[in-house]
A and B are shown apart, each in its own frame.
Chain A
Amino acid sequence: MNPLYVISLRQLTGRPRLIIIGLLAVVPVLMGVAVSLNDGQSSDDLDETLIALLFGAAVLPIIALTVSTAALGNDLEDRTLSNLTLTPIARWGIILPKLAAAVTIAAPPVLISAVVSVSLAYDGDSQAIASVVIGMVLAILAYSAVFLWLGLATGRALGYGLMYIFLWEFLFTGFVSGVRFLSIRAYMIGVIRGVDDERFAEDANQVISLPVSLIVLAAIIVIFTALAIRRLRTMDVP
Chain B
Amino acid sequence: MTMTQSSETSTSSGVEPVIKVDGVSRWFGNVVSVSDVSFEVYPGITGLLGPNGAGKTTLLRMITGLASPSEGTVLTFGEPVRDNPELYRRIGVMSEHEAVYNFLTGREFVEFAARIRGVADVRNAAAEAIENVGLGFAADRKMTGYSRGMKQRMRLAATIVHDPELLILDEPLNGADPRQRVHFQNLLRGLADQGRTIFVSSHILEEVEALADRVLLIVNGKLAASGDYRSIRAALNERPYHVRIVCSDPRTLASGLVKLDEVDAVNIDPDGALIAQSRNVLALQMALPKLSLESNVRLLRVEPLDDSLESVFSYLVG
Q: A88-B118, A236-B66 are in contact. Are A82 and B99 (CB under 8 A)?
A: yes
Size range of the interface on B? Answer: 20 to 34
Q: Which of A4-12, A60-68, A137-145, A171-179 contacts B (4 or more CB under 8 A)?
A: A4-12
Is A88 a contact of B117 with CB atoms below 8 Å? yes
Which chain A positions have C-beta within 8 A of B68? 234, 236
Q: With A87-B85, A236-B68, A237-B66 as known contacts, state yes or no: A80 contacts B101, CB within 8 Å.
A: yes
A87-B88, A88-B85 as given contacts; A82 in contact with B93, CB under 8 Å: yes
By the criterion CB–CB under 8 Å, are B66 and A82 in contact? yes
Query: Are B99's CB and A80's CB within 8 A?
Result: yes
Is the beta-carbon distance between A80 and B65 smaller than 8 angstroms? no
Supposing A10-B103, A236-B66 touch, asked if A87 and B97 sit within 8 A by C-beta, the answer is no
- List residues of chain A with CB within 8 A of the CB of B115: 3
Chain A residue at smallest Cβ distance from B68: A236
Query: Which A residues touch B86, using CB under 8 A?
Result: 88
Q: A86-B64, A88-B88, A91-B85 are in contact. Are A79 and B97 (CB under 8 A)?
A: yes
Q: Which residues of B contact A90 (CB under 8 A)?
A: 85
As a 0/1 sequence over residues 53 to 92 of chain A, the CB contacts with chain B under 8 angstroms (1 = contact) are 0000000000000000000000000111011111111110
Given known A87-B88, A88-B117, A237-B67, contact A79–B99 (CB-CB < 8 A): yes
Is B116 an interface residue, CB under 8 A from the partner? yes
In the assembled complex, which residues on chain B have CB atoms less than 8 Å from the CB atom of A3? 112, 115-116
B116 near A89: Cβ-Cβ < 8 Å: yes
> Least Cβ distance of B151 to chain A in Å?
12
CA distance A82 to B100 in the complex (A): 10
A156 partner residues in chain B, CB cutoff 8 A:
none
Closest A residue by C-beta to B91: A86
Which A residues are CB-close (under 8 A) to B116? 3-4, 84, 87, 89
A7–B66 CA distance with the chains assembled, in angstroms: 22
CB within 8 Å: A-B pair count: 66
A11 touches B101 (CB 8 A): yes
Q: Which A residues are CB-close (under 8 A) to B271?
A: none
Assuming A3-B116, A236-B67, is B95 touching A79 (CB within 8 A)? yes
Q: Bound state CA distance, A70 and B91, in angstroms?
A: 28
A233 at the B interface (CB under 8 A): yes
Contacting pair A7 B93 (CB below 8 A): no
Interface residues of A in 38-56 (CB under 8 A from B): none
| 0/1 interface trace, chain B 86-117, chain A, CB 8 Å (1 if under) | 11110101010111110110000000110111
Is residue B269 contacting chain A, with contact meaning CB distance below 8 A? no
A1-30 CB contact bits vs B (8 Å, 1 = yes)? 001100100110000000000000000000
Complex Cα gap A38–B115 (Å): 55
Among A82, A86, A234, the one with the most B-chain Cβ atoms within 10 Å of its Cβ is A86
* Contact surface of A with B, Cβ cutoff 8 Å: 3-4, 7, 10-11, 78-80, 82-91, 233-234, 236-238
A sample of 24 inter-chain contacts (CB < 8 A) reads: A3-B112, A3-B115, A3-B116, A4-B116, A10-B103, A11-B101, A79-B97, A79-B99, A82-B66, A82-B95, A82-B97, A82-B99, A83-B99, A84-B116, A86-B66, A86-B91, A86-B95, A87-B113, A89-B116, A91-B85, A233-B83, A236-B68, A237-B67, A238-B66
Q: A79-B98, A88-B88, A237-B67 are known contacts; what are 7 more A-B pairs with Cβ within 8 Å?
A: A3-B116, A80-B99, A86-B66, A86-B88, A86-B93, A87-B117, A90-B85
